[in-house]
Structure 1
Amino acid sequence: MNILITGEELHQLRRHSYQMAEAFGLDRRIENYQGKRPIGLHSWDFDCLLAVIQCALEDERFYPDKEDLGYKALMNLYERLKKEYQKFD
């Protein structure tokens, strides 16, 4: 499945890409992704992305202020990815 991730959503996702190290190169794909074209993701990529994003959103060390632009962008991405992931069922 292809999804476009740009701007602040991409910036925030990259902040947490190091947590994807065990995901068969997903960390490098996210780090190298420019956000100019949709990125192709498999169901297992979604599993990893959703888990990493959820952990980051819940960690107050990263986002002590839930009104922060970065938090809101990552939360928006999380919701978009969840909707797309449901299409795999």
Structure 2
Amino acid sequence: MPPKPGIRDKKLYFLITGDELKELQRYTWLMSEAFGLDSRISNYKGKRPIGFYSWDLDCLLGLEYTLKDEREYPDKNTDGYRNLERLLSRLREEYDKNFGRTRMRQRSYK
């Protein structure tokens, strides 16, 4: 059963468009355990901001490990790598500001 937002749960909104969105949508299959997050991102068109609760952002920030995977990104200079890195950096910054330091320490991906 998905977590039900409480009265004090904060939702953060992000506009994700273009190549960042395309790169994020490549990895929706990794979000299948995130209570509908995968379908929300798959169906998202980037026209309006999309809202995420802290548990959604926890799942999205887990994609940092994808950046380290040599099979996914053997070349760290590709546009796809840079787009996902930029998006995750934005998400992490807002997460840290609103919910405290991320559990996953900020790391260099290279």
SS in 2 for 1:30: helix
- 1:61 Cα shift? 1.1
Which structure: larger Rg? 2
Query: Which residue is 1:60 aligned to?
Result: 70
Output the TM-score relative to the length of structure 2.
Answer: 0.78
Q: 1:26 aligns with which of 27, 34, 37?
A: 37
- 1:88 Cα shift? 2.2
Q: Is 1:72 aligned to 2:74, yes or no?
A: no
Q: Is 1:5 aligned to 2:16, yes or no?
A: yes
Which has the bigger relative contact order, CA under 8 A and spacing at least 6?
A: 1
Q: 2:60 aligns with which of 49, 52, 55?
A: 49
Higher helix share: 1
Aligned residues: 88
SS in 2 for 1:12: helix
Q: How well do the aligned residues superpose, as a CA RMSD in angstroms?
A: 0.7
In structure 2, C-alpha distance between the alignment counterparts of 1:88 and 1:2, rounded to whole Å: 14
In structure 2, C-alpha distance between the alignment counterparts of 1:49 and 1:27, rounded to whole Å: 10
Q: Which runs of 5+ in 2 are unaligned?
A: 1-11, 101-110
Query: Which residue is 1:85 aligned to?
Result: 95
SS in 2 for 1:2: strand
Output the TM-score relative to the length of structure 1.
Answer: 0.95
Identity %: 56
- For 1:31-71, what per-residue CA distance to the aligned partner results, in whole angstroms no more than 9, with x for missing partners? 000001100100000000000x2121011111111110000
In structure 1, C-alpha distance between the alignment counterparts of 2:68 and 2:89, rounded to whole Å: 14
Query: Which residue is 2:49 aligned to?
Result: 38
